[in-house]
Structure 1
Amino acid sequence: MGLIHVCLNVTDAEESVQFYTEQLGFEESWSFESGDTINRYVTDDDGVEIQLSDTSGVDEVDAGTAWDHLALSVESVDDAFERIDHFGTVQEPQDQPAAGARTAFIEDPDGHVVELVEPLEE
């Protein structure tokens, strides 16, 4: 497994992208939309990404809700989902065509959400 990205809930994706790129030296890498949510990614020199997730109608992010999830790459989402002794299921394995991946979301012992990610075959 390897770290892919950390997802932060933000109230203004454009402002957040500008902060991470102009102030911290990240580069914007890609984006996709899912329902009412715009997801924009910034990448550091080592390829680790921060996902900036802006949901329409959410005007304030409180402490405790700003951090969304940690994404880890796996060879097989289905195998990892069955093998890992997780502490809750947020989303069972399913394809996410807009993101080009098969994903599942589980909880760690403290309730932090961990996303398991496997690229979809093209």
Structure 2
Amino acid sequence: MDILHTCLNVADADRSVEWYTENLDFEESWGFETPDGETVNRYVADGNGVELQLSDTEGETPSDEGDLWDHLAVKVEDVDAAFEEIDHHGVVEEPGDQPAAGARTAFVKDPDGHVIELIEPLED
């Protein structure tokens, strides 16, 4: 398994991309919107290719009370198999295709309640 990205909830994706690119020399790598248009996801990468997903959801402003951090994404060979095999402590979202992101994903919780996204790239 490889760590792909960490998702941070942000109030303004444009402002966050600008901050990471201007202050930490990250480069914007890609992005997508959810089908309902309510969430904009923009990605910035460091020089080693490690990405941060900056997730801006309409009407939501992250606070200091624990909702600034969203999830850790891990690449797996087969999302469905990993979902069935992992001794998780709660299902957040069952496996499903995310065409806009080019991946099949599932979300589970670790023993402390942290959300882990399992990602299997979709074939082109």
TM-score greater than 0.5 by the shorter chain: yes
Match in the other structure for 1:3:
3
Per-residue Cα deviation, 1:5-56 (whole angstroms, up to 9, x for no partner): 0000000111100110000010000000013000000001111100000011
Contact 2:9–2:62 (CA<8 Å) still a contact in 1?
Answer: no
Structure 2 matches for 1:44-55, cutoff 5 A?
Answer: 44-55=46-57
Contact 1:8/1:51, CA 8 A, preserved across alignment = yes
> What RMSD, in angstroms, separates the aligned Cα atoms of the two structures?
0.8
| CA distance in structure 2 between the partners assigned to 1:80 and 1:59 by the alignment | 32
Structure 2 residue 79 is matched with structure 1 residue 82: no
Matches within 5 A, 1:35-114: 35=36, 36-114=38-116
Aligned-partner Cα distance in 2 for 1:59–1:112: 20
2:20 match: secondary structure: helix
User: What number of residue pairs does the alignment pair up?
Assistant: 122
Structure 1, unaligned stretches of length 5 or more? none
Q: Could you say which residue in structure 1 is the equivalent of 2:27?
A: 27
- CA shift, 1:62, in A, is 3.1
Give the deviation of 1:100 after TM superposition.
0.2
Q: CA deviation at 1:87?
A: 0.4
Q: Percent identity?
A: 66
Separation in structure 2 between the aligned mates of residue 2 and residue 13 of structure 1, nearest angstrom: 25
Unaligned stretches of 5+ residues in structure 2:
none
- When normalised by structure 1's length, the TM-score is 0.97
